Amino acid sequence: MNLKIVQAGDPVLRRGTRALAAAEIAGPEIQQLIELMRETMRDAPGVGLAAPQIGLPLALAVIEDPGESDETERAPTPFHVIANPRLTLGPETVEFFEGCLSVDGFQGVVSRARTVHVEALDHRGKPVVIDASGWYARILQHEIDHLNGTLYIDRMRTRTFATNRNVGRYLAGAPIAEVVAALTPETTKPGV
């Protein structure tokens, strides 16, 4: 059974979330919710899904990424859960296109930290520490943003916002710096 993914404009995506107690995470209701979120994420398909995206203001997200790409430092990431995460950003940033299951059909270039440190609870309510880089770090930042009422469109370079179709048609394969330069107007010189 797949859960309904709410779309931008639904207030639940902009509110904060409630932290979960360890015993609550290990309980049958949250365990069932985790399984439903996993099925929904896989079916969408997506690489992460936060509880607000299914209408629940809970500090809970599921993540799984089977993809690989040298360009984006993307490597397969097995299924796992983060609850009540605390995020520390590394100093270096990278830009790349991002999409979201709650902003269906669109993408935009977002600057994110290349590395992150996350302290959270896992699917059993046990403490877990994650040090991630590349695409996995981007996924973590994206999902944790959802838990804080932030969407990628709040962080993107607005002039890069495009439909998935047009990203594939006009922008795919081009270096991000070139995409950003092509979509950003040149600064007008005084007196010109």
Active site residues: 143
Beta sheet of 115-121, edge-to-edge order: 48-50, 60-65, 77-89, 115-121, 127-133
Q: How far apart are CA 138 and CA 150, in angstroms?
A: 14
Q: How far is CA 50 from CA 3, 59, 161, in A?
A: 12, 8, 22
* Residues in a beta bridge with 119: 86, 129
State how far the Cα of 50 lies from the Cα of 12, in Å rounded to an integer: 11
Residue 149 near residue 59, CB atoms below 8 Å: no
